[in-house]
Amino acid sequence: MGPSLEMPFTAACGPPIWTIIALRMENAASESGKGRIGVREKGQLMSATEIDRTLVRLAHEIVERNNGCKDLVFVGIRRRGVPLAERLARKIGEIEKLAPPVGTLDITFYRDDLSTVDQKPVVQERALPFSVEAMNVILVDDVLYTGRTTRAALDALVEQGRPRRVELCALVDRGHRELPIQADYVGRVVQTSDREVIEVRLREVDNEERVMLCERMGA
């Protein structure tokens, strides 16, 4: 478990100052880069079969570490963290004969991968369909990069209650962390450069199923 996932959180009248700073930085980068930077594919990292096999492994790891699925809930970070969370919950249901509930956090403003951000992203405030109070929460995202997305997700999560424990699950960890955040469950670790982008493409969102290594072109 990453140490930052157990840190105390404070609820203020508005978002924490680091969140506001991160939001402005990401918006500025997105505004300046849109339309000028292309992306070219360099190679495939995972096939559909490999993604499924990885999720099966992660589901078993989660069940083993949590001694079943009692008091276990999944929260997917929109967009691709949501179908990944739903798939993991179904696979755990096949193992334990009881599927954990799945909720969604939409924090589009804070996406690490700017190539997936809309021109003018909007944060959607939406309550989870269950209480996280005293629950074991598995936070799911497709790619773990700087850690800013995860930190923003944690802030949004604890606004809805105080979980017993929060664990992070990422399909791909590409390094380059800016915050002391680590995933508890990782599908694959991929060493990347700052110019490279990991694109997770899922059938629920992209109508295809694979993980690609791409590279930003231009300046």
The pLDDT of residue 217 is 85
Q: Does position 19 have pLDDT exceeding 60, yes or no?
A: no
Could you identify the residue written with the tokens 């800016």? 178
pLDDT at 106: 86
pLDDT in tens, 37-68: 588 999 999 999 999 999 999 999 999 999 99
69-114 confidence digits (pLDDT tens):
999 999 999 889 999 999 999 999 999 999 999 999 987 654 445 4
Tokens 């791909």: give the residue: 172
Kind and range of the H or E element at 121? none
Please name the amino acid found at residue 22: A
**What's the angle, vertex CA 198, arms to CA 197 and CA 201, rounded to 5?**
130
Cβ neighbours of residue 143 under 8 Å, at least 6 residues apart? 112, 113, 170, 171, 172, 173, 174, 198, 200
User: What does the alpha-carbon distance between residue 107 and residue 159 come to, in Å, rounded to a whole number?
Assistant: 13
> Mean pLDDT over residues 116-131, rounded?
59
What percent of the chain is modeled with pLDDT above 70?
Answer: 74
Of the chain, the end-to-end C-alpha distance in Å amounts to 37
Q: Is residue 148 predicted with pLDDT exceeding 80?
A: yes
Question: Which residues lie across from 139 on neighbouring strands?
Answer: 75, 168
Give the pLDDT score at 37. 54
Query: Cα–Cα distance between 98 and 120 in angstroms, integer?
Result: 39
What count of other Cβ atoms lies within 10 Å of the Cβ of residue 79? Answer: 18
Residue 137 has pLDDT above 70, yes or no: yes
Instruction: Provide the CA 113 distance to its chain's centre, in angstroms.
Output: 11
Please tell me the class of the 39-217 domain: alpha beta
